[in-house]
Structure formats: structure tokens, C-alpha cells
Amino acid sequence: MKFCVIGISKFGYEAATILANNGVDVLAIDQDSTKVEHIRDKVAQAACIKIIDADSLYKIGIEEMDGVIVSLANNFTDTAILVRILRHTFDIKTIIACTNNQVKAVILETLGADQIIKPEIEAAIRLADSLSSPFTHMTRLHNDLAIIEIITPTKFIGKTIREVLFYEHYQILCIAIKRDETIIVSTPEMTIEENDLLILSGLTPALNSLPKEFR
């Protein structure tokens, strides 16, 4: 798999280096030579180029990429131009763009971005959840859908997933169990043990209304 990261912002740097660590062939692009030198040894290729049009993209071999991440910090105009060119000139399979403005996110989606990352907004949501959620671990998958991790309530020990009737009683699902640091995908006949951590999913109103034994 090949990915190009255009713009070595803080987000772009982390995305590029983690992709590379995960075995992805990464090309990192920025017009700042200092940023390029900083990342050069951490990705397959890095180049100091200002990407402004289709010709610039041709020169870096963009048509060979499976996906492109456009991470130009606060430069929305260039981001919008690149997203449109990537979609309509090259038809890149996966285009991901960054912005911290909801209106701009809608515009980028209209221009052809497959996914919009809003780093500051998403960080603020995670912080607010961690400060206000009654659960130790909560991951929001969507505004109204989340996953939580809880210590097994005493009354569930020795029962199977089916017997607890998670959805019937609480409108949630037990999707996995963490047992001895191993994640096990749950099945209806799996028996819950004393030291298990239950990984539950559901709509946030249902999760927030769970009784005390879940907290």
C-alpha cells in the first residue's frame, strides 16, 4: 500500500510516521525543507515541493498512490484545490483532508474528500468525554455511538453473554471481553469471569443511563 501525505503539520507528521511504522510505503511532501529533513528517515520517501496544481502532483507520481492525506494546517484554499484535483483529475481511491471548521469540512466533502479529520474538535470531544463520562474508558465512534470498558459487575460473574441479556435489559451490546490482557470477541455462550473487563457498545443515551453497577 502506498500513501502520500501532503503537508507535514503536527497531524501530518504523526499520520505519516505511524503509517510507515505499520508497513505502508509513505511519501511525505512539504515546502518547508526543515520539516522534510526531520521526517526523511522515518518514511520511504520525503520531498521538499510546493504542491499547487496537477503538474506538481504528476511530478511526485501521485497516480501510483492508494491514498492521499492533505494536511496543510490552516491553508484551506490550497487544501480545497488539491482535494478537487485529486478526485477529478487523478481519481485517487482514498482522499483524507484536515480542517477544524465544520462548514469547511462540508465543502471538502462536496469537492471529493472521502474522510475529514478535525483534530482540534475531536481532541476537545475526547477531553470532554474523559472529564464528564462516568466510565474510565470511553471511545466515541460517532456523536451518538460509543464504546466503553467496564469492570465486570458482580451479578454478571458466571453468566453467559446470552444470559445477561445486554440488549434486552440495557439496549447495549457486549462486543468483546478483555481477559488477562487479551481481547476476546464475545459469543452468546461465552461465560463471564470475575476479572474480566467488558467492552460494551451502544448509543450514548443508553450508555449514560446504565445503572450504578456499570460505573
**pTM, to two decimals:** 0.69
Closest CA to 12 of 98, 76, 77, 105: 98
Handedness of CA 204, 206, 208, 213 (dihedral sign): negative
pLDDT tier at 136 (50, 70, 90 boundaries)? low
Question: What CATH number has the domain spanning 134-214?
Answer: 3.30.70.1450
The full length of the chain comes to 215
**Ranges 8-12, 16-20, 91-95, most confident:** 16-20
pLDDT of residue 132: 66
Q: What is the mean pLDDT of residues 90-119?
A: 92
Q: What is the mean pLDDT of residues 127-140?
A: 74
Mean pLDDT value across the chain: 91
Continuous H helices in 54-112: 54-59, 76-85, 102-111
pLDDT tier at 199 (50, 70, 90 boundaries)? very high
CB-CB contact of 3 with 66 (8 Å): yes
Q: Please state, in angstroms and rounded to a whole number, the distance separating the CA atoms of residues 120 and 105.
A: 13
Strands 94-98 and 173-179, by their bridges, are: unpaired
Start-to-end CA span in the chain (Å)? 42
Percent of the chain with pLDDT over 70: 98
Q: What is the pLDDT of residues 29-52, one digit of tens each?
A: 999 999 999 999 999 999 999 888
Question: Which H helix or E strand runs over 178?
Answer: strand 173-179
Where are the domains positioned within the chain?
Answer: 2-121, 134-214
Specify the DSSP class assigned to residue 42: G
CATH domain 2-121 topology: Rossmann fold (3.40.50)
